[in-house]
Each structure stands twice: as structure tokens, then as C-alpha cells.
Structure 1
């Protein structure tokens, strides 16, 4: 590392960088690049990561958290980005950490615990990245033996059948004790489906039925799971999908499962040549973005529709006409896959490569005619959430994070600065922008009561205040987002920026 970069990296110490970090970074060019960039871009502290569990801390509270939010707010996300001075090459590679914020009349506390997956234990024992990951496939890493050998359980969480599951894209769900955060082992739904992917965005219908899917890319299979409210598997089916794509999320209606297959296609030959899972995909715009609609009663009944080429991570909610022949769906659309192929990769070495903003999009599918129409809004947004009681039913309130900083603002950060409520009927919005020195993470909706109307409740989530050098838990009145937070609780320091979370009442 050049002397100037070394001294610049030391200047980032107030955000948690130590001399040991800097010395380790001199060994690995990705770690060195990130350490040097952190001095220039303090917001990168959110992606520094952690090497150990985070002990219980008491937060400083401003305002009053409403009684409906007394309980635990959990977040999951990649948090161990470096091991033994070697830094991963993609944000999605980091080992998952579950962070728990406890909210009570006495105040708010925080702690974070890594999910002890098989990969986490093996890498920790080796003192280096022993297993391959989503975006890193160094020659000295062990070859992938099973999906769960590289499972990082780092994407989201679901509570179902009195169990908490930490979820990832390509392997089993991991059972976690929701109180102690202790890892309990992988969830096996059926012996012949042991280790099959169980993806990160299950949908739970109002009657408690959980639907999920998994993509086995090398086999070209899509698996659909139906789990009862009691946590017992009701049925599971797998179907062959031609030109299988990277699929992160899906939607359910009263009649169907709906998948948007981006123009980002898995090539098994690339994988055989030793490429990472990410690099085994190629951009195939000539295929467009395909819409796959499966019958919930028999997923072998498949319907295909067509959209222009594009990429998608997250869907909001879907609902259908009474006969099931027309489907309305919200999703967040990008024109290409730059965010996953470049932006979130280069971020890990401190290189800033912004992707074109993904835009909130409303989609209408007509199964009678086979026509798919979409309206792309002006809103640069992500992490769409609805009142979970409306899953698979007609909804009107959609909550997202958004980027509303003026274009060309040199001070703007990588990420989102705004919490937004979008009316799916009128297109009207309420939004609160924190400012260009605050990074906003996903906010989830919590109803005010069991009988509250749709959208009547609270939004809870986290933000990283760069100037204050701290993470804050924030709560909004979901009916009046523009008024700003009704309460905030500040952590003394920066928690690793994560992906998805949930709220559990006590």
C-alpha cells in the first residue's frame, strides 16, 4: 500500500478502522482498496463489516416508540466481508448477521449475532475464506460440494410456525432461536428435498399459508413450496424452466404464483470453467424479461408472458380479478443488471460505480390475451413492502425506500435517502427525505392493531447517519410519512448495513 493511502486509511479510524485492519489490507488488493477509499468516503463505514458478534448496547432514544412497536425488530444481512485480511468481491458474499433491536418501556437495546452456518464455522476455523461464495471464486477455495456448503444465511428472515428462519438464495433455510439468536441447524422440509434452495422472500397469506420457491440453476429447476400455518409442509413440486434466470423474489395471488425472469441467464458451462455463481450468468436481452405464471394447485400448469429486457430484485404485492385471469403487480425494475454485476461488486473494494436507478413499476397481466403491460413511474425506489395482511389481496398502500436527492448532487451518497408511501390507485406519494448524509435501509409496516385498516400503523427501520457516525432505529406514522420520524434510537457506532428484516411483537 502506498504511504499516502496508508495514512489516509488511518484517518478513517473514527469509523472503526484499526491499524490491524490497515496492515491486513496491505496483503489483499480488495481490502487495501476499500481501506483507502473509506478515508475519502466515510459512508463506506456501513460496508466495513464485523468480525465478531456485537454485544448488547443501550441506545439513546428521542421521541416515543408507540406501544404497537414494543417487541423486537430484526434485521439480516451480509456482515463478515473480510476474513484473515482477505476481502470478498461482492456485497452478497458476506456471512449473515442477525441484528435484534429490543423496544420496551425501559428503552431500546441492540445486539448482533452471526448465523453459525456450516460455511461460517469452516471459514472461521481456517482463518480465511475457505468456501466459494456468490461472487468470489478464488482458485484456492474449496469446490462447491452442496448448496449448503456455501450457505451464508444473509438475506432475510421469516417467523412461521413459531420458528424463525434465516434465509438465503441458494440453499436451505437456517433455523434460529428468535430470543437468543442461537443457530439451531438447517430446515429440511422433506428428505428427498434436503438441501434444495428455499429462497429469501416467502409470502405468507392471511390464513397463515406460506409459499416460497427455490431455483436450482445447474439443473434448470424451479421448486415451489407450500407450508401450512403450523409450519408443516403441505406440498412441494419442481418444474423445468428453460434458460433459467437469477430470480430473487416472486409474488402470489389467490390463484397463482408469479415470477419475473430477468434477462440475466445462468450458463452451466461458465460454472464448469470455474466462474463464480454470479459470473456464470450472462446478459441476454434478446430473451426479454419473461413472466412465468404458475397455477397454485399444480405448478406444472405454466403460462408465459413477455416484457422488454430488464432486471429485477424485488416485487411488492400481487392481486387478481375474481376469475384469476387478470393480475396486478408492483415491482422495482432496472433496464440492465449493472447493480448486481458491477455496482455491488466494486463497492467491496471501495470503487464507486453507480447503477442507473431502479424504478417503481406497476404491471398488468392479462392471461386471457397473453398481454403484459407496465407503467414505469418516476420514482427511484427499492425494498417495496405492504401491509402483510393484504398479501395476495388487493392493496393500495405500498411502502418503499427511495432516492430523491437532486440529480447532479455531488454530495449524494450511494443508496437511498427517503422513506416513501405510494398510493397504487392514485399514484400520489408521501415521502420524508433524511438528507444527503443519511443512508436509509428497508422499513417494514406494523399495523396499529389487528383490526386496523390497511396502512394504519407504523413503519420501522434503520438508517446510517454518516455525519453522526451512528446507526439509528426510526419509527414513522405510516399514515403521515411526510411528518418524519415519531421516534429515533441511536446506536453508539455503525452497525453493518443489511438487507431485510421483520418485526415481532411481545
Structure 2
């Protein structure tokens, strides 16, 4: 496929985000009122109320002792502006992104947060209401946009690579931020030819610093594949046509391959043309298998396909090959169906009770010789899988996840868990009642050589005390509880993904 022709089509498709609407569609609906009424009855909804302003720097109250060697910045991204001008977004993923910075040093922990000043954020702010399209919210009276970055919310993840801190979305460019102040510097253009191309929220960085990423353009049935050097220079960018391409949020890499899991949740162009939101333009096919696509890193035209039982996936953990190169192993958090994305996160934004299929951890083995895929379910309800970053694409043992120990924690989490992917055994910590737990990140100890030797760090909202807590665990002794914990007397919108940047990088002091 000719790249220039493809990009012209992609930018044209972006105009579909802002298709014309009737004047009667310009008034706010009752979602903001409905949520406010429910939040009065259910204080645990505090994490989904949202903010309308940046939050200033505060020093957190620290208990326990921070371990020597843990110094740097923990960055969290997530949707935070859920309402504007009486309009409340109908889906959690539509809120404008806010990046938060938890600075850790010998003096303790400080916190502040800033909204990412995307083109969409600025246009909506100036208008005093949403005037750009959204992922899962039908909106009227929208402004036209010229590229996918016109609706980019920069609200999913954050990564530091090649000396730059970047807020990530799914359908458009990364957005560069100042690592110290969190001020927005602008969109990242890897090359003029790939301006505004989809760049996913889950890049994978190999031990040598090489970054791999992908982007999905469902309306065109293609994947964009990126390979970027440790210094942040684009080394390869390629567009690949994929039959029956699906909504994909994550992928995995091995030393030789890229691994994609495609649930049978497929884009329907006719539904999009008829006015459905981008989310509702995807159709669930429960009788179809979940497919796995394996690409050869050295020749992306070499594709292998496998099939797994039907299901839906947001996140993968890690992937690796055996020494003979005959089998690929990887882990993932799978759902029985996409109901969380399709229905439950809509209900959440109205303050309604959320149920639906829970995430289950699983390991998968792909036999490259026979073409057979084998799935093994693990007895843990968990998601946001993370590993020791030194093991990306290599054989790993420890998988760190956010844990849901009780159904009442849905749709969020109440603990953290370390799963041994070889034995299936686990070490866990469940926070006290009233905590809603966000993704935690593994930080290697500077002195450690073995896998998993370091700390698990992350945040939780304590809605009973109206505080946020930042916890530091010995990663090999989660059940012992936090080694140190800091708190602040304000709550933040519950976010999505995070990263830790060591102080020795010179970017977080």
C-alpha cells in the first residue's frame, strides 16, 4: 500500500470523528446530573468524578523508610477531565489526559499533575464544551479536524525514551512533555511521512534500548510498525495489511518476533458511516477464535497465524522463545468478551453498578512447528501485567499485576500480586477496605542482578479517607506490606498506565 495514499485516507477518516450533527444535539444530556446524584450516595465513585484544573505541588506525608537506591520520578497518565461545560463524557477513555509526577528523593515524595495541552484540549477549553470527537461518546456541533491528532487525548500511558517524556494515546501521535514541569512541548513526529500516524500506548523496549511499537488503523485494515533506537531515532517504519484487523491495545516482543493478539472485535466501516462512535463501530463476533499474529522482526512480511479460544484482551505481559526457537511463550490478561469496554465503562460514567466478565491471567504457548496454540488459565483475577524491564523479550518468571481479590472491587482493583509464571504460585498484598488500586510498576534495585530484585511501586485511592497513597514494596515480599507509604489529603482521578524514571538518568531530579 502506498504510504502517502494511506495517510491521506487516514486524515480523511479523521473527519469522521467530527461528522455534522443537528443543532438539537448541542445541549448537554443528563449524564453529569446522573453521575453527581450517584456520587452523593456512593463515595467510592470519587475516583471517576474528574478534575478541571492542574494540581499544584504538595509534599506527601511519609511513613516507614524509603529504601536506599530508590530515587527518581514515577509518572502516571490517565483520563482526568471527564466533564466540561455541563457535558460529561459517556466513556472513561474519553477524558482528557493528565500526567502526574511523584518525585522520590532523600527528602521524601512530592506530587503534582498537569493536563496535556493537546490540540483537542485547547479547542475544547476555548469553546467551553467538547467540540472535538470522542472514542465512545456521541457528541454534536463538532469542529472539523484535519488529522487524528485533532482528537488526540494523550490519556493512556507515558514513557521516557531517547531523552524525552511522552504521553501516549492509541490513534495518533505521542505528545512530548517537559520531564520536570510536565509542560506540553508538542506532538512527536518520527518522520514527515508518518505524521499523525497511530502510535500505541504500549511500546516495548528491549534490554539494548531499542523501542518497538505499533499503530492500528482499523478503517484501513493495517498495522504500522515502528523500530526506534535507544537515542530516539526512527530506524524503521512500515505499514502492513492485516486481514480482519481487530481492536488491539497491546503487543509483546521476543528476541526474534513481534506478537499480536487479535480478539474477534472487528471494525465495521458501515456502522461508522452511519454515525456510530468509534467504539460502537466495532462488532463482537463470539463464535470466532481469538487470533495470534507473529511477525519476524527481520522480515515483517513473514507472518504466522495461530488460534486461541474466543476472548478479549487489553494487556499482554511478556513473550520469549525457547533456546531452539521452536516455541513462543507469553502471558496475558484475558476477558471472556469486550463487555468492559462496550458497556461497563459507560455505566461507570453514569455512576451505575458495574459487573461483567473479570480479567483472568493466562499463559500461552505457540508451537512454531505444528502451528498449535495452547492456553493455560491461572486462578487469579488480575490485570495490568508488568515485568522486570531487564527481561523484556527474554524468559521471565515474575509477573506483577493489579489484583482483584473481591468482586466488589470491580471494575478496579484492591491489591497487588506477583505470580510465578512457571509454578503458578503467587505472593500478594490486599490493601485495607476502601482502597482502589492503580497499576504498580517494578523498579529494579541498582545493585540487583537477579530478576525481580527491587521494588514494586504504585498508587491507590483511599475513598474513605479522601486521600491518595503511594506505596513502596519489596518486590519479593509483597505479603509483608509496604516498606514505606506516603499520603496526601486530596484524591486524583483513577489513571491507567505509569512509568518510573531513575534519577541517575538526569531526567527526574
CA distance in 2, matches of 1:348, 1:413: 14
Which residue pairs with 2:9 in the alignment? none
Aligned-residue offset at 1:258:
0.2
CA distance in 2, matches of 1:264, 1:204: 27
Which residue pairs with 2:242 in the alignment? 241
CA distance in 1, matches of 2:128, 2:286: 41
Aligned-residue offset at 1:287:
2.6
Aligned-residue offset at 1:102:
1.1
Q: Secondary structure at the match of 2:279?
A: coil
Aligned-residue offset at 1:412:
4.5
CA contact (8 A) 1:132 1:143 kept: no
- Larger displacement relative to structure 2 (419-428 or 279-288): 279-288
CA distance in 2, matches of 1:244, 1:47: 31
CA distance in 1, matches of 2:447, 2:213: 25
Q: Which runs of structure 2 are paired with 1:35-434 in the superposition (5 Å)? A: 35-405=36-406, 412=409, 414-434=411-431
CA distance in 2, matches of 1:209, 1:376: 31
CA contact (8 A) 1:412 1:437 kept: no
Which residue pairs with 2:7 in the alignment? none
Aligned-residue offset at 1:195:
0.6
Corresponding residue to 1:449 among 446, 450, 460 = 446
CA contact (8 A) 1:131 1:150 kept: yes
Q: Which digits, 9 at most, give the CA deviation of each residue in 1:58-116, with x for residues without a partner?
A: 21111112122221111000000001110001000000000001112222111000001
Which residue pairs with 2:21 in the alignment? none
Q: Secondary structure at the match of 1:50?
A: coil
Aligned-residue offset at 1:451:
4.2
CA distance in 1, matches of 2:273, 2:287: 24
Q: Secondary structure at the match of 2:259?
A: strand
Q: Which digits, 9 at most, give the CA deviation of each residue in 1:375-408, with x for residues without a partner?
A: 0111000000000000000000110011112x5x
CA distance in 2, matches of 1:69, 1:191: 39
CA distance in 1, matches of 2:433, 2:404: 10
Q: Which digits, 9 at most, give the CA deviation of each residue in 1:351-398, with x for residues without a partner?
A: 112122110000000111110000011100000000000000000011
CA contact (8 A) 1:412 1:436 kept: no
Q: 1:323 to 1:142 in 2, by over 3 A?
A: farther
CA distance in 1, matches of 2:220, 2:48: 34
CA contact (8 A) 1:413 1:437 kept: no
Aligned-residue offset at 1:200:
0.2
Q: Secondary structure at the match of 1:46?
A: helix
The number of aligned residues is 477
Q: Which digits, 9 at most, give the CA deviation of each residue in 1:158-185, with x for residues without a partner?
A: 1111111110011011111111101111
CA contact (8 A) 2:448 2:454 kept: no
CA contact (8 A) 2:355 2:410 kept: no
CA distance in 1, matches of 2:69, 2:332: 29
CA distance in 2, matches of 1:455, 1:152: 34
Aligned-residue offset at 1:137:
2.4
- Larger displacement relative to structure 2 (285-294 or 385-394): 285-294
Pairing 1:462–2:463 present: no
When the two structures are superposed, what TM-score results if normalisation uses the length of structure 2?
A: 0.92
- Larger displacement relative to structure 2 (437-446 or 351-360): 351-360
Which residue pairs with 2:4 in the alignment? none
Which residue pairs with 2:468 in the alignment? 471
CA distance in 2, matches of 1:320, 1:291: 15
CA distance in 1, matches of 2:144, 2:372: 43
CA distance in 2, matches of 1:66, 1:130: 47
Q: Secondary structure at the match of 2:287?
A: helix
CA contact (8 A) 2:354 2:411 kept: no
Q: Secondary structure at the match of 1:52?
A: coil
Corresponding residue to 1:498 among 478, 487, 495 = 495
Which residue pairs with 2:22 in the alignment? none
CA distance in 1, matches of 2:377, 2:115: 38
CA contact (8 A) 2:154 2:174 kept: yes
When the two structures are superposed, what TM-score results if normalisation uses the length of structure 1?
A: 0.92
Aligned-residue offset at 1:450:
5.3
CA distance in 2, matches of 1:481, 1:106: 24
Aligned-residue offset at 1:322:
2.7
Q: Secondary structure at the match of 1:67?
A: coil
Q: Which ranges of structure 1 fall in alignment gaps of 5 or more residues? A: 1-25
Q: 1:165 to 1:450 in 2, by over 3 A?
A: farther
CA distance in 2, matches of 1:62, 1:477: 15
Q: Secondary structure at the match of 1:73?
A: strand
CA contact (8 A) 1:201 1:250 kept: yes
Structure 1 residue runs of 4 or more that deviate by more than 4 Å after TM superposition: none
- Aligned alpha-carbon RMSD (Å): 1.3
Q: Which digits, 9 at most, give the CA deviation of each residue in 1:418-445, with x for residues without a partner?
A: 1100001111100011133111111000
Q: Which digits, 9 at most, give the CA deviation of each residue in 1:250-308, with x for residues without a partner?
A: 00001100000011111111111121110000001233111000111121111111111
CA contact (8 A) 2:339 2:356 kept: yes
Aligned-residue offset at 1:323:
3.8
Which residue pairs with 2:20 in the alignment? none
CA distance in 2, matches of 1:313, 1:450: 33
